[in-house]
Amino acid sequence: MTEIIQIEFSDFDASDFETRGGRFAVVVGKDGSLGAQAAALDDLVGGAIANAVGGKAFKKAKPGDILEISYPQGVAAEFIAVAKVSKKKSALKAGAKLAAHALKDDLLILGEGHALIPQLVYGLKLRSYNFDRHRSQSDQDAHNVSVMIEDPKSVEIAFAPLLSIAQGVHFTRDLTNEPANVLTTVEFAKRLSDLKNSGLDVEILEEKDMEALGMGALLGVGYGSETPSKMVIMNWKGGGDEAPLALVGKGVVFDTGGISLKPAAGMEAMTMDMGGAGVVAGVMMALARRGAKANVVGIVGLVENMPDGRAQRPGDVVTSMKGDTIEVINTDAEGRLVLADALWYCQERFKPSGIIDLATLTGAAIIALGHENAAVFSNTSKFSDKLLKSCKKEREGAWRLPLGGGYDAQIKSRIADMKNVGGRPAGSITAAQFLARFVKDDMPWIHLDIAGVASLDKDTELAPKGATGWGVRAINRMISDYYEPS
């Protein structure tokens, strides 16, 4: 897991302010008043901090903005950042902006008695991510972030669960960013098996196990690959005897489209087609590391979709674990075949209280919602509203799209129970409608099509270009708010 920034909390000590190198950050409220720590630093720099917070720029700045004082006189540090903070949202935003400084040099944050320091450091931790493990020389040095704060032990305890969530987000980003020659199905399963060290129970089903269970839909996707298909079950039992919430993820480590070969341009991005499984893994890590008081099971189907003499063909008919037959019209609509068997297995074995599945499933979701929102489908508003509220709290975009029997005609097959694609109209909806056939009538279910949000070609507030880790924070929040005792 990528860990560039090391964070420590300590008591106030101004003894080396004058000679300390690196960078300083001062956290102030909307009123601009300076506490003892900031005042001590301000004395050394000739009132530069007081002048900054008393000026027009500070008054015009929005909560979460940073004022910069470059090369202040009187200290060895080359930079002082003044963070304007008022509420959690602004603290997270300010922390994310401070990450740019933490990535360049050691950073000392003067936190005074601000209650929002855990959120600020959380934002810094989320944004201070850099995936460069495949460069011959790292483009980021490891740096330390020191936080001077009243009662540092209590603040460190308050930050601990947020750190666990950030680590889960980073784990998801690492998985999603990895090239497919590194993150094979075998390597993916190994990394998930290593989550036993975080306290999860982890079990791996091999191809022979899935054959015995009748998972013809999932196994058919991997027929053309040299790497074996696998299913990984991660179990966290932090609650009582209640049925678990289930998370199910699509883990296509690389998607050529199979015999229905994708165009060459852009195919390299299909290393992220396991993004749904990556989110499930990140959530499970976060839950275990923060000791969530809930029962949650995470199931991911790991396959590679390659063209080969043994590969699945358009026109083939496969039989799912449920027993339904599927005519494969397009081998590039493979993710729903993986999820079909994973969903049914999940229900048969664990009888969960509800299921959330995640997949980079359709380009149609991007056409509908762009890169701002994941597409949300559900068979019950009571269940989906919990997720949508959690997404809003964590500012992870999500928008609910419809389901309905009228779309079933598009996936009707002449020779099998259904076909795996319904044509271009409403492509993300017909994919969800397909998955709904593998959800039992009384099972609360949410399908998240994260094709547009799992990986981006530009920086965002909390993530650099590449994998975002979208969904880890929102699903963790949903579990915390609705599945753990208050």
Q: What residues are annotated to the active site?
A: 262, 336
- List strand residue ranges (DSSP E) for 121-186, in order: 143-149
Our CA angle for 89, 455, 140, nearest 5°, is 75
Q: Which amino acid is it at 84?
A: K
- List strand residue ranges (DSSP E) for 140-244, in order: 143-149, 201-205, 230-237
Cα–Cα distance between 258 and 280 in angstroms, integer? 25
With tokens 């090391």, the residue in question is: 6
Q: Are 258 and 331 in contact (CB under 8 A)?
A: yes
List the 79-84 sheet strands across, edge first: 5-10, 143-149, 107-112, 23-28, 79-84, 66-70
